[in-house]
Structure 1
Amino acid sequence: MTDAAKSLYIAQPALSRAIRDLERELGMTLFARSGRGVVVTAQGRRVVKLAKEALDAVHEIEALATHTQPGVVELRIAAPPSLEPALAGRLLPAYTSDHPGVRVQVVRCDGRDGVVNAIREQRADLGLTDLPVPADLVSHPLDRQEIVLVSPPGLDLPESVPMIRLTGMRLVLPPAGSARRKEFDQLFATYGVRPVVAAETDERGGWLPAVRSASASLLAYRGTSEQAARAGLVVRSLNPPVRRVIALVHTRRRLPAIAQDFLAVAEGTAAI
């Protein structure tokens, strides 16, 4: 059970509860407990066989739906604006070079909660987000990204900016009430800092221009460094460093073949 939980990136007690809930719902015993672990019961093996057959049928239906328009195959990936550079800069080129017939649609979401909802509501096949995510989703960690400070040139700041220096600093932040803004507010509260809100925007294309026009700084993932440098901005680390594990996530169902292929490509380029 412990190994299974680790492979699913969830806590072992959460997996045990999910199994107990399923057994209660079905009214049958799927696993026989012993002092040294668990074994699948005869009923459990039958349930697994039928479940696989059901998932295979769902997969075939999805494949039929995907090919109703000849030559058009679409993969939908949910992502917040903050992670679009990582998606566009590394994952999409690696995938589309080997799958030129697949059209990838990026479903833009408001933070982690938006990605989770898009996956649950089947508006996307995969999601790119930082962890943790709820236990009903499967996660595949790909990278550990650092949050950095992007600033206009000329600011008197060290290469590694102490977190306390954010107090009174003018920052471009996501809109108040958004999921991403709540995460930043929690980060500020953790370190007891109070920045000044210089501008609010959730449009990725407007972040770097807002830094220049508002003479303010921006907290962003390291993946934006190259774009920031081209815009003449300065990228600095934070002290202590702030990092988030980035993962592809999906529901606990058999994925369409094109989504499985994307996962394979992404895991082949994973840095974690």
Structure 2
Amino acid sequence: MNLQQLRYVVATAEHRTMTDAARSLYIAQPALSRAIRDLERELGMTLFARSGRGVVVTPAGRRVVKLAREALDAIHEIEELAAQRQGGPVELRIAATPTLEAGLAGRLLPAYASGHPEVRVHIVRCDGREGVVNAIRDKKADLGLTDLPVPADLVTHPLERQEIVLVSPPGMDLPDPVPMARLDDLPLLLPCPGTPRRAEFEAMFTRYGVKPAAAAESDDRATWLTTVRARSVSLLWYRSIATEAVRAGLAVRSLDPPVRRVIALIHARRRLAPVAQEFVALAEGGSAA
């Protein structure tokens, strides 16, 4: 048994399919399957039961996965300790969407940096909640900042509730706040069909009994405000985009009733390195409901 096999076991348990686990590990799927079979043969126990296109962790496998996570966490802490003793940089990687990154950089990072000058914080910019989740699962980030919900295999630390607002071209005859009923037939820029974001918006519209017009569809956040102005459509997004929207000459209005989403730090279900634990503690201590 070796550390590589332990990483393979943990990745397979987290992703629940050999294909996705192999992709996260940057190895071929047959090689991962063979390594898992070799380990099962060595241990004399079945860790994963094949089910359809995925795998299910067996009772014995759950115990092995737990111990494997603990072993890998310990190795990570030893490596961090060695880096500190050798004077090397200690790194904390935080995945965030561009919308939430501004708040992270403006509020949390300066406070953290002042108390941890030896830690180099690297922001992993992701395209949407799914990108943040994938960065955590693929071990490209230690922590993620995103809105909820996220898959149940991840740990969440709610920090605040952000308001969703309506961003519109100038000159539109709309009150502030905008009653939900006024969204009926309103031309909107929406996420692309079939995406989780689009499904969430559709669920919200159904809940309030409105049917906005999907006048434009895009997941490219960099073009959203330009599209709002050029195509005379409105956009539903977080209040944190308001400053940028106003600077672009757009109007920002609240909704009635107000709609808010929970913003949280997320991470894999394992023991965090001390630098990540300290960041979570700082964020939770300074968060506001």
CA contact (8 A) 2:70 2:270 kept: no
CA contact (8 A) 1:107 1:124 kept: no
Structure 1 spans left out of the alignment, 5+ residues = 1-20, 29-47
Partner of residue 128 from structure 2, selected from 110, 117, 121: 110
CA contact (8 A) 2:69 2:270 kept: no
- 1:122 Cα shift? 1.5
Alignment of 1:28-67 (within 5 A): 54=71, 57-63=74-80
Partner of residue 125 from structure 1, selected from 142, 158, 161: 142
CA contact (8 A) 1:77 1:104 kept: yes
Alignment of 1:77-96 (within 5 A): 77-96=94-113
CA contact (8 A) 1:81 1:203 kept: no
Letter in 2 for 1:168: D
- 1:192 Cα shift? 2.5
Equivalence for 2:60: 25
CA pair 126-52 structure 1, distance change in 2 beyond 3 A: closer
- CA deviation profile, 1:51-102 (whole Å, cap 9, x unmatched): 89736523335527977x9754433222334433333342334334444551
Scaled by the length of structure 2, the TM-score of the pair is: 0.68
1:192 aligns with 2:209: yes
Scaled by the length of structure 1, the TM-score of the pair is: 0.71
- 1:126 Cα shift? 0.7
CA pair 52-124 structure 1, distance change in 2 beyond 3 A: closer
- CA deviation profile, 1:108-139 (whole Å, cap 9, x unmatched): 0432x443332222122111122233332221
CA pair 258-239 structure 1, distance change in 2 beyond 3 A: same
Equivalence for 1:172: 189
Q: Which has the higher helix share?
A: 2
**Relative contact order (alpha carbons < 8 A, sep ≥ 6): 1 or 2 greater?**
1
CA pair 51-231 structure 1, distance change in 2 beyond 3 A: same
More deviation, 95-104/174-183:
95-104
Equivalence for 1:75: 92
- 1:203 Cα shift? 3.1
User: Number of residue pairs matched?
Assistant: 231
| % same residue | 61
Equivalence for 2:283: 266
- 1:251 Cα shift? 1.4
Aligned-pair Cα RMSD in Å: 3.3
CA pair 96-207 structure 1, distance change in 2 beyond 3 A: farther
Equivalence for 1:162: 179
Equivalence for 2:258: 241
Counterpart of 1:264 in 2: which secondary structure?
Answer: helix
CA pair 229-27 structure 1, distance change in 2 beyond 3 A: closer
CA pair 199-85 structure 1, distance change in 2 beyond 3 A: farther
Cα distance in structure 1, aligned partners of 2:83 and 2:210: 49
Counterpart of 1:54 in 2: which secondary structure?
Answer: helix
Cα distance in structure 2, aligned partners of 1:238 and 1:179: 22
Counterpart of 1:168 in 2: which secondary structure?
Answer: coil
- 1:219 Cα shift? 0.6
More deviation, 251-260/213-222:
251-260
